[in-house]
Amino acid sequence: LVGRARAAGVRFSARHVFEHRTPAGLAAALGEQGPREAGAAAVPGPREAGAAAVPGPRNAPLLPLMSRLVTRGRFDQYHQSVTLTLPPTTREHLAAALGALVERHEALRMRVANGEGFTVEPVDDGPAFADALLTRVDAAPDTTDEEATALAAAHTAAARDGLDPAA
């Protein structure tokens, strides 16, 4: 986000993003910064509904974190996860939200091509793609916090164990 904004001539740090947490809060904190620097491209906005994602697979350079992991040889099973507490929702709503993220952020569509880069894959139907990624885990209504934590840890480990960039 910070890099894309800089390319458009807008200056802020990652700390600003975490301090202000929403686009509106960030915009209010930054105020008007004036016109973009000469030659800076505009930051593209969200795609219109139904618009195609990226047209066809294309190569992309390694992200800095991935480059470090490849260099250190610790690439297999690397993942990042976060636990969210959500209001009551449906699988369809979760798939739609995750699908919108996948369509909008190309880093979520990256696949390992080789040790030097990634292939960015197009996603024609983000919600359908995301629905295939979602796993529902049922827990009894009287599940304790400790039991829920253990259940989540077991499913996280199973998902992590399925990561194999060399496959």
Q: What is the pLDDT of residues 55-83, one digit of tens each?
A: 566 666 667 777 777 777 766 777 778 87
Tokens of 70: 């490849």
137 closest CA partner among 126, 149, 146: 149
Question: What's the pLDDT at 142?
Answer: 96
Please give the Cα distance from 125 to 123 (Å, whole number). Answer: 6
108 closest CA partner among 125, 95, 123, 87: 123
- How far is C-alpha 34 from the geometric centre of its chain's CA atoms? 30
Question: What's the pLDDT at 80?
Answer: 78
Q: Whole-model pTM?
A: 0.53
Bigger pLDDT: 3 vs 114: 3
Bigger pLDDT: 144 vs 25: 144
The DSSP H or E segment spanning 111 is: strand 110-114
120 closest CA partner among 128, 134, 108: 108
